[in-house]
Each structure stands twice: as C-alpha cells, then as structure tokens.
A = this chain, B = another copy of it.
Amino acid sequence: MQTHDGDRCPDESLDPQNWEAFRQLAHGALDEAISYVQQVRETPVWQPVPENVKHRLKEPLPLTPQGIENTYCDFRELILPYPTGNIHPRFWGWVHGTGLATGILSEMLSAAMNSNCGGRDHGALYVERTVIDWCRHIIGYPSEASGVLVSGTSMGSVIGLAVARNARAGCDVRAEGIRCAPKALVTYASKEAHSSVGKALELLGLGHASLRKIAVDEKRAIRPEALLEAIKEDRQAGREPFCVVGCAGTVNTGAIDDLAALAKICRDERLWFHVDGAFGALCALSDSLRPLIRGIELSDSIAFDFHKWLYVQYDAGCVLVRDRQLHSNAFATRPDYLRHLDRGLAGGGEWFTDFGPELSRSFRALKVWFALKEHGTRRFGEMIEKNCRQARYLARLIEADPRLELLAEPTLNIVCFRYRPPGANGEDVDQLNRDIVADLQERGMAAPSTTRLNGKVAIRVAIVNHRSRREDFDLLARSVVEVGNQRTSG
C-alpha cells in the first residue's frame, strides 16, 4: 500500500495552527462585538461607505492566505463602521428588526455546531420542531399543523402558495406543471398587499396578473364585499379562484384585514386562505393587540418573520400549514442517497427538506429558541405594545406641529407623515420630504424611510425596534421640522 501519493502535508487542515492565538483574537473580537451593540446609541445611525473604502473592498480574488489577524483588521476598518443601521435606537426604515444582543451568543454557538437542518437525526431538528410547536401555539394552529423555518416571509409565502397551488389546481402540478390545470388560477389580496405576494406568484408560474388587487376601506383593509364581487366575476369569466391572501400588517401603514371575515369567505367559497403576517402576526403575543388579528388561526397557511417583531438576527422566518399532508405532498422527494433509515443518523422523524425547496438548511431555530426562552413571550408582547404606543406618541407629536401633516393614523407601529411648508406645491413637497429623510440619514441622526400614500411622498416610520425611547421620537419630530425649515428658508 502506497501511503504518500504525493501529499505534502497529508494531515493539514484549515484549523488554526495556533489555537491559543486564535482564541485570543476571538475574545478580542467578541469584546468588540458586544461593545458595538452596547454603545450603539452613541454612534451615527448610518453613514455612507466612503469612496476609498469601497475601492479597497473591491479587492482582487485572494490567492494566498492573508491570515485571520489581517482579515479581521480589514473587517474592523472596512466593514464594521458601515452597518445597515437597524441595530440603532433611531432606525425606523422599511420593516427592519433590531436584533438582540444575545443573538451574538446564539449565532456563535450555531456556527460552532454547524448543523445541517435539512434532515437526519440530531439535536438541531428537535429544536426546530419545538420552535414550530411554539409558533403553532402562538398563532393558534392545531397541533397537527406542519411548519418549517425559512429565510423570511417572502420565502414563506412562496411555500404557502405552492402548497395551495398544488392542492387546488385540479391536476398533478408537481408532475405536469401548471399547464395541466383546467382553468386559470386566480389569487386575491388587497391593493395594500406586499409585493412579495406578486413575486411569489411569478416564481410559481402563475404570473402576477393572476393576482386581483382588491379595493380597501378607509383603514386600508380589504373590502370583503369587493372581494366577493371579484370572485364572482372571475368564476363567470371561466377562471378558477383558488386563494385569498390576508394582510396582518401592511407594509405601508400597518393595516390589518378582517381575517375572520376572510376566513369565512374562504370557507364558503372553498378557497385557500394564506396570511402574510410578516410583522403583524406577532401581535398574537399581546393580549391587547391580539383581537386585531382575530381569525388568523383559521387560515390554511401563514408566513411571518422572527427577524422583525421578535427582533432576532437575520434571517429567520416561519411558514405554518394547517394540512401537514398537503404541505408534504408539495415538497417531499427522497432519492436513494437521502433514504430514510430506521436508526442511525439517517433516522429520526420527518425531515424538513420535505417541507420546502431547501435541502441544506442552517440552524436558524437556535436563535429563535434562545430569544423565546431568554425573554419569554410576554416580554416580547410588551415590546410590541411599546412600539405601537410609540407610534401613537409620534402621531400626537406630528398633529401638535402645524408644519407636520399626519398622512395615516397608525393602526400598529407605522406612522406616515410629511413636512408641509405653507404654499408649496405637490411635487416640491414630495422632493422636499425625500430630501429631509436623506438629510437625517446622512447626518446619522435617524433613519426613517419613504413611501407614497394617496399620491403623496410620506416620511415613513416603522417601529420594530426594542431600543427606541420616547426621546428618540421627540428628536425625530424636532429634526424633521428643523431640516424642513432650513431647506425652505433659503
């Protein structure tokens, strides 16, 4: 037996050659990581990446080792100072969650284990099953419902709608594709529904034109009678209504559809009821907010995020499906090399790869498990309530200032308003408000984002931030007025 076969260092690995030096470096980095979060209030919310840093980040492919010390040095200089900003108490852009300090811990432990959660039989899967069980409990789903953790609601809705499509197309879609469906499938959601619903339908081969965008009421919730009318029209035209997507918290204003009414319509009309609960679903954690999402527990599938209102690190979302068999029917495949065995590593219960399109899967469940155990659901409920109170507080500040205009009364945690100088016309006011937002961001003072409501550009404040305090909103309202005044006084 030849034992060397040209090997230079047959037993060399990519592990540190000096574990003690690595350990020391890692402890230094951990201190820095913790301080970074601890002191975030004292730093700018956001700062642009300087041109010379961008240039240095465009490094050619490293052929030779630079070592961990140099790599970490470059990280500290070129990357760490330029976060998205969502960990800061005055970040309220889009719907970005804050993250948890202890997420540093859970992510580092998850990295050490490096579990692959596609399937097989090991600890991480039992953790994910527990987290899903907790989610069923939170949402009010039956214990036999299935679920899987996903990168976020966008992927969760792809899965939920794929299950719906395959269950309702009237033919074997997995084998034959959607062309085998006798009629064109139609989905319904409010005009305020998130763009990910249309994107999911595109991916699934149904096309976004198959989504009927239904009119909303003054609270921006779907009008059930308009929905019924649309279903009737489509049936008369020979199309096949198959799914309604309810919104538990729209992205523009946090509006919530009457989910109980939608559940009833879906039952009567025999349609699949999917809920986009990206952030709003977790209102279930608050006794005072839970009535707003009444009926969510009657849906056939629901997608929501942990990285929004559970504040855990990116990425982490969940999809639940009431009918486990339909869920598995849509995704289970077992080639020979993934064969399930009675015992050993290839044993265990259900494999998560049979409930979604991913095969290799990271141990997302760990950070959610840590978060829920550390804080308990009641504290999360209190934080969610706090964010909603802060939205109302900000709305009152806006109403109290004649230069500010509230564009929508907050339902939950989203406030849309604008600075309105006397006598300016619409387009100027639009650009002015975009400029105010960019000014606040560039000064590192606060990070709201913008949207358009009733044709008007709005400053949009989405409070998904456990670090925000009242004083932060005082500062925001004051700063918007100051910057607006400065920009219009010239």
Closest to A54 in B: B126
For A5, the chain B residues whose CB sits under 8 A away are: 389, 392-393
For A237, the chain B residues whose CB sits under 8 A away are: none
For A102, the chain B residues whose CB sits under 8 A away are: 16, 22, 68
Give the interface segment out of A260-268, A464-472, A479-487: A464-472
**Choice from B7, B82, B360, B366 contacting A389 with Cβ under 8 Å:** B7
Distance in angstroms between the alpha carbons of A111 and B203 in the assembled complex: 30
For A98, the chain B residues whose CB sits under 8 A away are: 14, 114
Is A173 part of the binding interface, using a Cβ–Cβ cutoff of 8 Å? yes
Structural contact, A155 and B357, CB atoms closer than 8 A: yes
Structural contact, A252 and B337, CB atoms closer than 8 A: yes
Query: Which residues of A (383-405) have their CB < 8 Å from a CB of B?
Result: 383, 386, 389, 392-393, 396-397, 400
Give the interface segment out of A216-224, A294-302, A320-328, A445-453: A445-453
For A357, the chain B residues whose CB sits under 8 A away are: 154-155, 158, 196, 199-200, 203
**Choice from B33, B82, B133 contacting A111 with Cβ under 8 Å:** B33
Is A174 part of the binding interface, using a Cβ–Cβ cutoff of 8 Å? yes
Closest to A335 in B: B195
Is A121 part of the binding interface, using a Cβ–Cβ cutoff of 8 Å? yes
Distance in angstroms between the alpha carbons of A81 and B51 in the assembled complex: 47
Distance in angstroms between the alpha carbons of A61 and B87 in the assembled complex: 27
Binary interface encoding of chain A residues 213-242 relative to chain B, with 1 for a CB under 8 A from any of its CBs, else 0: 000000000000000000000000000000
For A110, the chain B residues whose CB sits under 8 A away are: 107, 313
Q: A87-B114, A109-B29, A113-B80 are in contact. Are A207 and B374 (CB under 8 A)?
A: no
Structural contact, A179 and B176, CB atoms closer than 8 A: no
Is A259 part of the binding interface, using a Cβ–Cβ cutoff of 8 Å? no
**Choice from B22, B133, B341 contacting A450 with Cβ under 8 Å:** B341
Closest to A315 in B: B362
Q: A11-B469, A341-B434, A400-B1 are in contact. Are A359 and B152 (CB under 8 A)?
A: yes
For A424, the chain B residues whose CB sits under 8 A away are: none
Distance in angstroms between the alpha carbons of A179 and B181 in the assembled complex: 9
Distance in angstroms between the alpha carbons of A8 and B15 in the assembled complex: 50
Q: A127-B57, A345-B441 are in contact. Are A209 and B360 (CB under 8 A)?
A: no
Q: A107-B110, A366-B79 are in contact. Are A14 and B466 (CB under 8 A)?
A: yes
With both chains docked as a complex, state the minimum distance between the C-beta of A131 and any C-beta of chain B, in angstroms. Answer: 10
Structural contact, B84 and A49, CB atoms closer than 8 A: no
With both chains docked as a complex, state the minimum distance between the C-beta of A122 and any C-beta of chain B, in angstroms. Answer: 5
For A58, the chain B residues whose CB sits under 8 A away are: 126, 129-130, 133
For A113, the chain B residues whose CB sits under 8 A away are: 36, 79-80, 83-84, 87
Structural contact, A130 and B177, CB atoms closer than 8 A: no
Structural contact, B205 and A151, CB atoms closer than 8 A: no
Is A442 part of the binding interface, using a Cβ–Cβ cutoff of 8 Å? yes
Instruction: Identify 20 residue pairs between A and B in the complex whose beta-carbon atoms are under 8 Å apart, listed by A's number.
Output: A1-B400, A3-B470, A19-B38, A54-B126, A57-B127, A58-B129, A59-B130, A60-B137, A65-B379, A81-B123, A84-B113, A98-B114, A104-B112, A151-B360, A176-B207, A177-B206, A317-B360, A339-B452, A341-B438, A345-B438
- Listed from nearest, the 6 A-B pairs whose CB atoms lie closest are A205-B205, A82-B123, A177-B207, A344-B438, A99-B114, A107-B111
